[in-house]
Amino acid sequence: MYPGAYVSRFPDKPAAISASTGEVLTYRELEENSARLARFLYDAGLRRGDHLAVIADNHPRVFEIYWAALRSGLYITAVNNHLTADEAAYIVNDCGAQALVVSGTLSALAEKVLDGTPQARIRLAYHGSVPGYRSYEEELRTVSPEPLPRQPRGGDMLYSSGTTGRPKGIKQPLPDREVHEPGDPYVAIFGPQYGFDTDTVYLSPAPIYHAAPLRFGGVVQALGGTVVLMDRFDAEGALAAIERYRVTHSQWVPTMFVRMLKLDKEIRERYDLSSLKVAVHAAAPCPVEVKQAMIDWWGPVLYEYYASTEGNGGTFISSPEWLAKPGSVGRPGIGILHICADDGTELPTGETGLIYFEREDWPFEYHNAPEKSAESRHPEHPLWTTTGDVGYVDADGYLYLTDRKAFMIISGGVNIYPQEIENALALHPAVFDVGVIGVPDPEMGESVLAVVEPAPGVETGPELAEQLRGYLRERIAHYKVPRRVEFARELPRTPTGKLVKGKLRERFH
């Protein structure tokens, strides 16, 4: 299905709503405006396989742009609007975008990107004017809303978060079908997995340029539901949105859970969350204590999946399963799971190694980076691919994540995974945020450093540092306890909750 299929049934139903302003994009508007933009781009010379980039805020209009690409055979690349102008221009150029659509609320960034992206010959700005860009609304006003005679299915080409280096464009071949024909893998997998349908009201508190919010929003609209977009995550604001819009489905990252759990009890109990049937979480491992506290609060509505922007595989787990297997991210639902040593040897149950998924139907590549594509393949099995995560599988086939291989600390020849230390500190009342890295050590090669963002009003210093180290000694092996604890006003996280450890290393090495 695709949104146009619902216009005859409920033309005035909201396809997307802005939680902050209440602005509504109806199914009729979504269908007509996406058809207009598709025709506009076609008349400008864009054809199947060409690229459209968007630097957007969390505005409902983003879905017009998204569906315009999907109904005209284009690749759409959503660009992180928190990047510098040079970083954003790199992505626009790297993906080869001939068209660039920006939000007027991001005019400062859009203007700076202008000179550095000469190949983007079509430039439009919506929801406000930007020098050097034509008005999206005015240009589309004179274009026919009649769909193009052929509407080949497009796709997204999104970029990794770049937490360990330059972001990489992740590209899959375009499907050989039209937009209205069945076969979309995300709809086929996630629709039945989480019960999305025409009654769904889906809250998206994360930036829409990120893979999960964009793709899940598309799935909800393909199945006739409503997407509620928050401008940005706010702990109490998210609870208020659930109550106001009677949200049935939502998606989160663990740092959002931590922020909501640290609200005063009175605030947490102020809002009616009874409409919530499914609270999906992903993107980063969730500490056991955090997830247990969320299930205690919200009930068994938490559903976790482990996957990646690459889409090379995935595992799934429900709340009842997780309560029986705390800490697991589930069993494979997409692809065949393999755990391998550094030399590619497949490891037995219970041993920790690099996580590979085997899929015949998902030949992703890193755009303009053949060496990175090659690195993602198993040395002997080209259909086995990895994104660099490390973990193990138990006797029942449940996967447990250990950390990313790139984040592992080797201290005195012993492997230490920062995630375990970060998880142990996540709910300490003095800790608002924490990141753990390895720093050079003349004796051990590397030693463990914890960088802590203190909770509001907490006094930092050697006494608190030693208190946190003592707290950790009660929870993890002593050799894993950080030798040093430093304090910072803020940790460098992406708006999707991922810690940018490269920046943390630059700051503290």
pLDDT 10s digits, 435-451: 999 998 888 888 999 99
Distance CA 124, CA 120 (A): 10
Closest CA to 281 of 310, 309, 312, 250: 250
Q: Which two tokens stand for residue 312?
A: 């090379």
Q: Is 472 helix (H, G, I), strand (E, B) or coil?
A: helix
Q: Is the pLDDT confidence value at 480 over 70?
A: yes
Pairwise CA distance, residues 91 & 78, whole Å: 9
Residue holding tokens 């990794």?
A: 160
Residue 397: Cβ within 10 Å count: 13
pTM of the model: 0.89
Whether the per-residue pLDDT at 134 is higher than 60: the answer is yes
Mutual orientation of helices 107-114 and 85-94 as an angle, nearest 10°? 60
Residue 45 main-chain phi, psi, to 5 deg: 105, 0
Higher pLDDT, 127 or 497: 127
Tell me what the mean pLDDT of segment 126-148 comes to: 97
Per-residue pLDDT of 177-224, as tens digits, reads: 999 999 999 999 999 999 999 999 999 999 999 999 999 999 999 999
CATH 3.30.300.30 fits 408-508, yes or no: yes
- List the one residue out of 206, 207, 248, 243 whose CA is nearest residue 225: 248
Instruction: Domain ranges for the chain, please list them.
Output: 3-192+209-219, 408-508
User: Which of 154-163, 315-324, 500-509 holds the top average pLDDT?
Assistant: 315-324
Find all residues with CB under 8 Å of 370, minimum gap 6, and list them.
none
The band of 373, judged by pLDDT with boundaries at 50, 70 and 90, is very high
Q: Quick one: CATH architecture of 3-192+209-219? A: 3-Layer(aba) Sandwich (3.40)
Q: Give the pLDDT confidence score for residue 137 in this predicted structure.
A: 97
- What is the number of other CB atoms lying within 10 angstroms of the CB of residue 267? 13
CB count, 10 Å around CB of 432? 17
> In sequence order, what are the residues at sequence separation of 6 or more whose Cβ sits closer than 8 angstroms to the Cβ of residue 6?
13, 27, 198, 224
Paired strand residues for 499 = 493
Q: Which element (helix H / strand E) includes 259?
A: helix 254-261
pLDDT at 162: 58
Q: Is the pLDDT confidence value at 11 over 90?
A: yes
Residue 331 CA to residue 84 CA, distance in Å, equals 39
Please give the mean pLDDT across all residues of the chain.
94
In angstroms, the CA 119 to CA 107 distance is 19
Give me the pLDDT at residue 494, please: 79
Question: From CA 8, how far away is CA 121, in angstroms rounded?
Answer: 36
Task: Map residue 505 onto helix, strand or coil.
Answer: helix
Residues in the chain: 509
Q: How far is CA 39 from CA 102, 139, 148, 151, 291, in A?
A: 18, 11, 6, 10, 46
**Closest CA relative to residue 146, chosen from 33, 41, 60, 67:** 33
Given a cut of 90, whether residue 361 has pLDDT beyond it is no
pLDDT for res 165: 60
